[in-house]
Amino acid sequence: MGCEVVHVRAHTAGAAERRDQGGVGLSPRPVYAALDLGTNNCRLLMAVPAGQGFRVIDAFSRTTRLGEGLAGSGRLSDEAMQRTLTVLKMCAGRMARRGVARWRAVATEACRRADNCTAFIARIEAESGIRFDIISAEEEARLALAGCAPLLDRRLPDALVFDIGGGSTELMHVQVSPRCGRERVLSMASLPLGVVTLAEERGAELLCPQGYAATVDAVCRRLAAFDGDGRLARLVERGRVQMLGTSGTVTTLAGVHLRLPRYDRTAVDGLVMEFEDVMRVSRFLVEADTAQRIAHPCIGADRADLVVAGCAILDGICRLWPARRLRVADRGVREGLLLSLMRADRN
């Protein structure tokens, strides 16, 4: 079975398919789980093998804001750790009910940066039974690429793949192979620039047109180092580069663009947005007030104060490398983790 087909099936698994599994209970095939603990969100994905890929049987995500205040203090706060532990205990319960056979849990930027992360990781294991690996930015980027690679257009030789996180943004210049899974990373960078860190740094300045424009200018200056010799920009000018984004920012913008009555992963994953539409949605979100953002079914209270920061980072990426179109991926690190676990067992 081809890589593209397997991944599309994995991401269209929903309530009907979970009912086919008989609800909570053991699957006849081994159940795998991937847990991604980020600066802003905790995400769990459980799946069973299907061909060379997998089929999702359960997905769970909660906003924990683990990295709240980290930029100023250098530490994870007691409140943020407690919120996160509560969610992780929920994840442990879901994994137990599904009879998970193999799993991997990874922590990213907030735990990489926090002075007290080692003690927190030990506390997580003691209280929830979940053992976390604090992975490098390079491994995080490669897992995200592995998870969303099936969405790459094989007709274009180069890709700019990015992941806007809560505490960092990963950028990769990828050489696209005619065969899925054979992509080559030509260069990558992880910048300490995420939606949580930027929102805390800029505050209310982000919420007015002048402040937003100044923020995008500052973001561009920070991102520009990734393409110091201008090679990627020249390839963009020649029409050789596609852009693929995987993050809550791009999926949220896609949902707003589509005017979805509620977020629908199957409508968003793989969507191609013109840059004009990206800019239009960004302007709409900057000009909206907090109540309007909260009321939008694809944003809500958890993301209302962060989505504008994400737009500023995305606008900076689009300005520096105007590839004209953005493909949206609602997949990433968790999917890369599942694939790596399953491939290791097959080998």
Is 292 contained in some domain?
yes
pLDDT at 9 over 50: no
Across 102-124, average pLDDT: 97
How does DSSP classify residue 204?
Answer: G
Question: Does residue 269 belong to any structural domain of this protein?
Answer: yes
Q: What is the arithmetic mean of pLDDT over 67-96?
A: 96
**CATH number (domain holding residue 112):** 3.30.420.40
Q: What pLDDT, on the 0 to 100 scale, is given for residue 5? A: 30
pLDDT tens readout for residues 259-271: 999 999 999 999 9
HSE-up of 318 (CA within 13 Å, CB side)?
22
Residues 234, 93, single domain; the answer is no
What does the pLDDT read at residue 232?
97
Strand order in the sheet with 241-246: 184-191, 169-175, 158-164, 241-246, 325-329, 272-274
By CB atoms closer than 10 A (0-12, 13-18, 19+), residue 332 is buried
Name the band, by pLDDT with cuts 50, 70 and 90, for residue 51.
confident
Of the candidates 120, 138, 156, which is a domain's last residue?
A: 138
Q: What is the dihedral of CA 301, 326, 112, 312, to 10 degrees?
A: -60
Q: What is the pLDDT of residue 252?
A: 96
User: Is 343 a member of any domain?
Assistant: no
Q: How many domains does the chain have?
A: 2
Are 135 and 149 within 8 A, CB to CB? no
Which pLDDT score is estimated for 208?
A: 87
Residues 168 and 199 in one domain: yes
**Tokens of residue 148, six digits:** 């969303």
pLDDT-derived band of residue 216, with 50, 70 and 90 as boundaries? very high
**Per-residue model confidence (pLDDT) at position 180:** 82
Strands (E), 64-117: 100-107
Asked whether residue 219 falls in the same domain as residue 131, the answer is: no
Q: Which residues contact 257 (CB under 8 A, 6 or more apart)?
A: 273, 277, 280, 281
Check whether residue 130 and residue 244 sit in a common domain. no
Residue 336: predicted pLDDT? 96
C-alpha 31 chain-centroid distance = 23
**How many other CB atoms are found less than 10 A from the CB of residue 74?**
11
pLDDT tens profile 127-150: 999 999 999 999 999 999 999 999
Are 242 and 152 a contacting pair, CB within 8 Å?
yes
Minimal CA–CA distance to 45: which of 61, 69, 68, 29? 61
Query: Which comes out higher in pLDDT, residue 324 or 6?
Result: 324
DSSP state at residue 88: H
